[in-house]
Chain A
């Protein structure tokens, strides 16, 4: 019968429409603006409305989510900030759009290169968020951040992140990527117990 196909299709639309309200009634206030509600709306058995009201509501990101890189430092007993980076340059070489710039530090007395960066800059306009730097850094010194809300008002001044801007404590890293941090920590201590004091720069 002509028109029956349209009616059947409209029935699908109507069910979607009705589901929205039925779910709202069923779940009550918890459906919106609660972590539970957000989680519920992205489960595979979700019915009704699925949209998230950003910025009032934010989707939690998974552990592996990558946005911009940051440099990890370990906190010393007296509050020192020991950057893990050895200025080996692997991340700068691996970076596909070549947006990592590193000035290797040098010993103020001898002038010989040392294993620490004097400057470390990332042009975040160019960074393509690929995660290679974090993936191939042999010292777990650069990692991908979860913070994606980095809008700024001055494109020409504020989009090159320098060393200071890039630094984050290891505890922050462990808080956003607990599984990865724990695995790397275990690997490091296993290695350290095997051959002590064999740290050096690779090329």
Chain B
């Protein structure tokens, strides 16, 4: 498609097309990355930097930092790559141009050891300072290393069982950097963290700000998550989120796994939206394999994804109310609907939350008997009523409005610059929905509106989720009307799929935002690189902007309105 500018003609000196088979996009010289990016942002409309990651081509001395840029008006990705060596890996930071890169660049530094020159606050983000090395580098091995890739040879035919824990005894299951002594260690990371807060210059009366840690153990954070807030009285001057408490290096596990083995692992990212996670990963690998699911499977996929959206949006509204102090009555009403949808997932996939329902080229199984009737009852009868009930219950409530209207505002320009996605982006007046902006699967066939609200406050994020649940019902009605008969899987189910070498980025509009999977294959049974663009994580980049100037009590509601799941934030 010629929708993208030809960068090698625009910048013949600096940019080259990536001509490796299976690859695309542009190789940009590190020294000129900022110039090219500035031109793209200001002249060519690529105002949305969605994903930043890197690939380690060990044993070659080659690291590639990969950027996916979009126009916030829609269209496919423009991919930039910058090559650097492995020792002293460094590239210029794009954070000054695209503030949304801040956390992602920190993540690349943390996990792959690429320095971003010009980054305002380049610290580890998911791991701590006592962690040795950068785990996503191909030559990094875990202390309980078994083999580079699965399947491990010790399991068959001479699989003499041993307990995983015995191979990984407590105390030996970690490595420290050289010259690191855990007993005498003082957390310098904390100082670095606090040092980033600006001290106020004296203005007449000397007042000092106060630093308060909310979390890691805090009921408002929906998990183990920490917010360090700098306060002036009760007003938030600045905020830094600290995460990674639930980090398990999903991506490293993913690179040890075979392609298919990753499917059940994606369930565990955002464990409330496992169907959507399956969807994104299946899309990415199907792109690489060049296959398409059959018609009926496409409809089933959309059906599951939209049921997930309704369920998650109701759920998040319920929990937003928890955060506002309406303890559990609204969220239990939401959970009641969620249970009915989970019943469907369980009947179809075998599990309520860890669905593992998608396969490359289709879905595991067709709807068992009686399930379609249940879906019909829900979609045509119950859920519209219940969404209206939620609306009647909360929308006009004066306390909800008082707490939410005008609080935690994110403007449209800020939302785009900060790479916010999903409900956060659309509630700020940017009608950007991957299902419309860059349609995947069969979404082009459905008639629905991209929900959008314009104030960018908590209240609009709440309203937007209600709007979107209603639009999902519209899609589901069309799915039920058009659902064709036929197979649900192309080809024979295989546990080892052949994936040609190349790269692919599959993205879906998950209920939390743009969920992307960047997968690189080198033709082997295991992915060379498996990266998750996690919407919950990247949406947190805008938390500080939303919270500044608000009262400390509101930060809980602001966080609730972003709707994060720590399984996905920390990966």
Q: Which residues on B sit within 8 Å (CB–CB) of A125?
A: 163-165
Residue of A nearest to B494 (CB): A136
Q: Which residues on A sit within 8 Å (CB–CB) of B150?
A: 96, 98
**CA–CA, A162 and B378, complex, Å:** 43
Residues of B in contact with A, size category: 35 or more
Q: Does B392 interact with chain A (Cβ within 8 Å)?
A: yes
* Given A121-B159, A123-B161, also A6-B392 (CB < 8 A): no
B491 to chain A, nearest CB (A): 14
Q: Does A139 interact with chain B (Cβ within 8 Å)?
A: no
**CA–CA, A92 and B152, complex, Å:** 9
* 0/1 string, B359-401, CB within 8 A of A gives 1: 0000011001100001001100110000001001111111111
Q: Does A104 interact with chain B (Cβ within 8 Å)?
A: yes
Contact A94 B398 (CB under 8 A): no
**CA–CA, A96 and B262, complex, Å:** 7
* Given A9-B397, A96-B264, A101-B160, also A131-B350 (CB < 8 A): yes
Q: Which residues on B sit within 8 Å (CB–CB) of A135?
A: 364, 493, 495
Residue of A nearest to B333 (CB): A16
Residues of A in contact with B, size category: 35 or more
Q: Does B340 interact with chain A (Cβ within 8 Å)?
A: yes
Q: Which residues on B sit within 8 Å (CB–CB) of A63?
A: 347, 368
Contact B378 A44 (CB under 8 A): yes
Q: Which residues on A sit within 8 Å (CB–CB) of B401?
A: 5
B310 to chain A, nearest CB (A): 13
Contact of A103 among B160, B164, B264, B365 (CB under 8 A): B160
* 0/1 string, A142-182, CB within 8 A of B gives 1: 00100000000000100110100000000000000001000
Contact B351 A65 (CB under 8 A): yes
Q: Which residues on B sit within 8 Å (CB–CB) of A45?
A: 377, 381-382
Contact B265 A96 (CB under 8 A): yes
**CA–CA, A41 and B261, complex, Å:** 37
Q: Which residues on B sit within 8 Å (CB–CB) of A87?
A: 156-157
Contact A103 B354 (CB under 8 A): no
Contact A64 B159 (CB under 8 A): no
Residue of A nearest to B152 (CB): A98
Contact B495 A132 (CB under 8 A): yes
Q: Which residues on B sit within 8 Å (CB–CB) of A77?
A: none
Q: Which residues on B sit within 8 Å (CB–CB) of A93?
A: 151, 155-156, 495-496
Q: List 20 A-B contacts (CB under 8 A).
A: A9-B394, A9-B397, A13-B393, A42-B339, A42-B340, A42-B343, A64-B350, A65-B351, A93-B151, A93-B155, A98-B155, A101-B161, A102-B155, A104-B157, A121-B159, A125-B163, A129-B354, A130-B263, A130-B354, A136-B493
Where the two chains meet, the residues of B that have a C-beta atom closer than 8 Å to any C-beta of A are 150-152, 154-165, 257, 260-265, 329, 333, 336, 339-340, 343, 346-351, 354, 356, 364-365, 368-369, 374, 377-378, 381-382, 389, 392-401, 493-496
Where the two chains meet, the residues of A that have a C-beta atom closer than 8 Å to any C-beta of B are 2-6, 8-9, 12-13, 16, 42, 44-45, 50, 61-66, 87, 89-90, 92-96, 98-104, 113, 119, 121, 123, 125-126, 128-132, 135-136, 144, 156, 159-160, 162, 179
